[in-house]
Amino acid sequence: GQPILYSYFRSSCSWRVRIALALKGIDYETVPINLIKDGGQQFSKDFQALNPMKQVPALKIDGITIHQSLAIIEYLEETRPTPRLLPQDPKKRASVRMISDLIAGGIQPLQNLSVLKQVEEELQLTWAQNAIISGFNALEQILQSTAGTYCVGDEVSCPQVFLYYRFKVDCTPYPTISSINKRLLVLEAFQVTHPCRQPDTPTELRA
Amino acid sequence: MKQVPALKIDGITIHQSLAIIEYLEETRPTPRLLPQDPKKRASVRMISDLIAGGIQPLQNLSVLKQVEEELQLTWAQNAIISGFNALEQILQSTAGTYCVGDEVTMADLCLVPQVANAERFKVDCTPYPTISSINKRLLVLEAFQVTHPCRQPDTPTELRA
């Protein structure tokens, strides 16, 4: 059967996987998991059995269920190798993984919903901003040596999603991040998978 | 990112531990740190990412410093307990002798340091028998012994093995 993606429209981790599926031309079914409704549908018994970390995304494909967005993307790359999401050269692959891990491990986990909920409400915005600013300061520097048209060279690799606008982070100090992001956002795979165009996008946020 | 580790190798510098390990795997492929089968590789990466992205960043030094001092221990413990609850469940279907099957993989490299952190933060590991027994088996292997924090060039005297 078709792959099934458990996704939340606004989740940046889900968006990464949606982009990878779109870039590779893989059709899939979306099962929306609302992280806020009903106390958070990710905490349901059914979803917990699917992903014990109680997070989106999770992908059912080829008879298995994978979670952790980068593990999903690497599996797609290994089983559906074209078009490539990772360059062939090991040193460039290292750059791609380094940048992906910086974002997926170094920024996003620190500003996701379950962590923010543990911070006092009036401090949450600053907390999220700090996580993003620290990471972007580093990323902007790294991109000086890796970037071409996109993050690593001139081919789109391991999709990067920048959610700075949600947390009102001033991106003037990050011209490279901003211009790469702008170039990526016009590509079809980034457009059709955008949070504003998902099956579970609330009406008021729809494109 | 002002974090360790960073590795200077083959004329480049790589950081992010899993990016380093994947580079080593691709350029020095034996002995393997990732299985050949893509589905097993997905399991290895899933477990590695769970630990390296889902637990460790939430209890590292720079994050803890942003939490009020009297709340830091609980914060770290919560991060580890949430992650270990999930990991113990996942290992039910992936584990053999080690995290994924019977060969040491990248997932095991992530497990041992995280269990050491759990001990540092006084997390009770009784609810995690699979994690605990895999950890025990890994700790007797030479690679995990010679690299242990208690045997490093910069280990303080009072903590040396």
pLDDT for A45-58, tens place per residue?
999 999 999 999 99
Instruction: State the pLDDT at residue A156.
Output: 85
Same domain, A65 and A102: no
Mean pLDDT of chain A: 91
* Residue A130 maps to a domain: yes
pLDDT band at B77 (very low <50, low <70, confident <90, very high): very high
Structure tokens at B122: 């006084």
Structural domain range at position A44 = 4-83+191-202
pTM equals: 0.95
Same domain, A100 and A131: yes
Checking if the pLDDT of A155 tops 90, the result is no
Same domain, A136 and A183: yes
**Proportion of chain A above pLDDT 90, given as a percent:** 79
| Mean pLDDT (whole number) for A73-96 | 95
Checking if the pLDDT of A165 tops 60, the result is no
* Residue A207 maps to a domain: no
Determine which of A126-130, A154-158, A175-179, A199-203 has the lowest per-residue pLDDT on average.
A154-158
pLDDT band at B39 (very low <50, low <70, confident <90, very high): very high
| φ, ψ (nearest 5 deg) of residue B114 | -70, -35
Structure tokens at B54: 């889902």
Q: How do the domains of chain B map onto residue ranges?
A: 36-147
Instruction: State the pLDDT at residue A166.
Output: 66
Q: Which residues contact B110 (CB under 8 A, 6 or more apart)?
A: B18, B47, B48, B51, B52
CATH code of the domain in which A128 resides: 1.20.1050.10
Instruction: State the pLDDT at residue A46.
Output: 93
3-state secondary structure of B148: coil
DSSP chain A: ---EEEE-TT-HHHHHHHHHHHHTT---EEEE--SSGGG-GGGSHHHHHH-TT--S-EEEETTEEEESHHHHHHHHHHHS-SS-SS-SSHHHHHHHHHHHHIIIIIIGGGGSHHHHTTS-GGGHHHHHHHHHHHHHHHHHHHHHHHBSSSSSBTS--S-----GGGGT---TT-HHHHHHHHHHHTSHHHHHTSGGGSTT--GGG--
| Mean pLDDT (whole number) for B82-103 | 97
Same domain, A46 and A59: yes
Best to test chain B binding among A17, A53, A97 (most B CBs inside 10 Å) = A53
| Mean pLDDT (whole number) for A162-167 | 58
Instruction: State the pLDDT at residue A112.
Output: 86
Instruction: State the pLDDT at residue B103.
Output: 97
A72 touches chain B (CB under 8 A): yes
Instruction: State the pLDDT at residue A169.
Output: 85
Same domain, A173 and A117: yes
Q: Do A78 and B83 lie within an 8 Å CB cutoff?
A: no
| Ordered alpha helix ranges (H), chain B | 17-27, 38-49, 61-64, 72-94, 106-120, 129-139, 142-146
Same domain, A109 and A131: yes
pLDDT band at A161 (very low <50, low <70, confident <90, very high): very low
Best to test chain B binding among A86, A97, A125 (most B CBs inside 10 Å) = A97
Place of tokens 């949430």: B82
Structure tokens at A86: 């990772």
Number of folded domains that form chain A: 2
* Residue A55 maps to a domain: yes
B64-74 pLDDT, tens digit each: 999 999 999 99
A157 vs A66: which has the higher pLDDT:
A66
Chain B, 75 to 114: residues with Cβ < 8 Å from chain A are: 75, 78, 82-83, 85-87, 89-90
Checking if the pLDDT of A167 tops 80, the result is no
| Mean pLDDT (whole number) for B111-136 | 97
B40 touches chain A (CB under 8 A): no
Same domain, A77 and A105: no
The verdict on domain B36-147 having CATH code 3.90.245.10 is no
A118 touches chain B (CB under 8 A): yes
| Mean pLDDT (whole number) for A99-103 | 93
